[in-house]
Chain A
Amino acid sequence: MAKKIRSPQELLQFRKKVVALKEAAKTRIIVSGGTCCLAKGSKRIFELFREELDRQNIADGVELISSGCHGFCENEVIVVILPEEICYMRVRAEDVKEIVSRSIIKKEIIERLLYKDPLTGEQFIKEGEIPFYKHQSQIVFGNNRFIDPKNIEDYIARGGYEALVKALQTMTPEEVITEVKKANIRGRGGGGFPAGSKWETTRNAPNNPKYVVVNCDEGDPGAYMDRALMEGNPHSVLEGLIISGYAIGAREGFIYIRQEYPLATENTLHAINQAREYGFLGENILGSTFNFDVEVHRGAGAFVTGESSALMSAIEGRVGQPRPKYIRTAVSGIWGKPSNLNNVETLANVPLVINKGAEWYSSIGTENSKGTKIFSLVGSVNNTGLVEVPMGTTIREIVYDIGGGIPGGRHFKAVQIGGPSGGCIPKQFLDMPIDFDEFSKIGAMMGSGGMIVMDEGTCMVDVARYFLDFLSDESCGKCVPCREGLRQLRKILMRIVRGDGEEGDIVLLEELSEVISAASLCALGQTAANPVLTALKYFREEFLAHINEKRCPTRVCQGLVSYFIQPDRCQGCMACLKNCPVGAIDGGKGLVHVIIQDKCAKCGICFEVCPDRYRAVEKLSGEPVPVPPIPSDREISPRRVAR
């Protein structure tokens, strides 16, 4: 059925045909089907819809689509019914029958399945009206909600491959580069390097052949923007890659996908095959003289492999370890040939720029950061998921308007951005705009889009230790400042959270950080001390409290916390005694319970299980544990129990 498209006219005609077909279907049902949706049974739900539509004999007038991730992952499985735009969330298998008979046939709304704002109780029918979406501007991610990643026609119906046509038919490679430079797309993979200049360097490098590469290694813990794009809208990335190949003069491209992303790999391979069938890949693309093809390379799953020279080594079939890179990969990359590496999201922006022009694109954002950025918003925030906002949006808008603020009435403390080697941005910068340069100015970095919200209960020393743990594991271990430096940074931080911090440790942390940043071989090492440096910059008093007062202000660090049962609040219910795993609690019916400090393993279970109405167990830090009552005072008087 599929046939090669050889000219812009043919693409236009084909698109008209597809759109007409789609309009013929009176109703469309979209079931979200990203990796995490699948875990919530979305595949089964999709099949049940199919069965139910057949059973009710209405399959003909209804188009059923399994889309990629919608971004609001905590509420999956999401089902959207078009054209009414009815959006149901947290749909489960048992809801399917009801949806078909009530919402598809009778056009009724099932209130129970609508999204209800947990803060205000307000319900919303349309997906776009939900506060989480309303404050976003999903120019890159938006199509994820409408298309089936396995169906190239869905992408074409929404204007897909028009940018490629435009580039091939009406622009020279140089003009494409000029447009991308004018739009000032900066790399979304972390560094924020202008894509246009990198393309130009690669194009002008003397050697041939040239390669173009997509980085879908996405190693930042908790981040999944690239996965969502790659598995939900692979053609948009592919189109960006093909255009970059045309602009740079490459005939061959690679898509490097980490091992842990099987669905992204599957959908990408499928998309490549379809693109070949339709003539967007292969020889004489769209009737031009441009030949280009793509190969998928599966990663071995190390964080450092996402670094450009390591990734290129891996594509060559060697160990994915950084190389000394005093000659840029744009000049000497894969097999020593000029190679351009871009992040998934960077490339997904390219078709937009070509279609709508650099002027339109650069009207979005700030002076030096254009377009939008997708973040994965997680942590202590009411709404979590993927959010796309224009550059220039403030952190406050993301956390409060989109994220719905901090749960449980707690207070905001910091937001960690930039991935493991990013930094924690404190409260005083809540109104700072999302911008590559603003972030660098305060010692943080944009990174690839991880955003972890932290509330007042978070210990910043412990957070620094956590990221150092991650980085010392993920360092490739080749160079001394990175390997040995991180080993020692981690040791010092562990000593501080344990309560063995010494005077001079802060100076030592700073001295060591300076050397690691300056002398490490690759960017992993060069940025690995950031979590420590920003924590020291903005939360120094917490380090001082740990070291000098042996006090963890947030009472998080086990080694600095003691548990104590307040004699006048204890009601002798024995909950703590029964649950203490090491038998460190002495008590009995009608007795004030006492923790034997020497035996206590500081697991915190007693603190958790003491009933809320008593709250007798206290966490102490930096102060002596009061002496418990003598045995004769431990009887709880009946009057007190009665009260």
Chain B
Amino acid sequence: MKLKGGIYWGAGCGGCDVAVLDIHEKILDVAEKMDFLFWPIAMDFKNDDVRAMEDGEFDLVLYSGAVRNSENEEIAKLLRRKSKTMVALGTCAHIGGLPSLANYHTKQSILERVYSETESTVNPEGTMPLERSTVDGNELELPRFYNTVKTLDQVVDVDYYIPGCPPVPQQIVNALTAVFNGELPPKGSVIGAGTKTLCDECPREREEKEISEIKRPLNMIPDPEKCLLEQGLICLGPVTREGCGARCINSGAPCRGCYGPLEGVHDQGIRMISALASVIEPKEEKEIDAVLDGIVDPLRTFHRFSTAASILRRKKI
């Protein structure tokens, strides 16, 4: 019998859905094994179609995107109930992703920024989105916009994680193959990625060099063979899980950390503090500070993809 599958996007960009399509002709193999009963970005389905299903009827649901509003949470819970195996697909569902950078702000400050402050906003009446409003006698409702962006596993039980922003298509194929063959590791595992650090799969040469100046890609042309971190660029390779094939590194850009932390590491960004402290040269406070001054916005640079899953989860209010 054919398996039943679903794919959903919460607070994401759709890049994970595109990554699924990017498995190209292998999608045919997938379609041979599994029928998609729900995939809003690709086909027309209604949430009520899912509500009408039996509990546990989906064999597999891939949920991409973070949980940013009440609709994301509602559908996550609905899909959880309707599925046997639920997978967090991509960085946002896994560890919050870029949307969770919003956790350094509040709902209020974001709404003010977007609806009144930005340079391109024209809103003389100060109109703000409301959860409920009446238009021509009809009551309209929007999902509740949350104050704190959450990872998928902060609202439902998650069986597996496929990291990446977006996941490498081949890794999606590997993960799906594991599902089809029933070769899944213990629940809660990361699938479709390695277990070592990105530095382990990085082709660049390391010389155990210490750094005495932090640089930014816009101010330099890095040596194509040598480790970017040792050239003074902030590269999250030492604290990031391997699995992407070092795609940014191979294009000359340092790793931003989208494959998330290693097994057993709770907070990737905080871990980066240790990694960086080990390679900075100076020993005197003043000189150390002078090097650190070169890191623009360390908190968000280190937690670019993982704020929702970090220890503190958000800026203190």
A and B part of one assembly: no
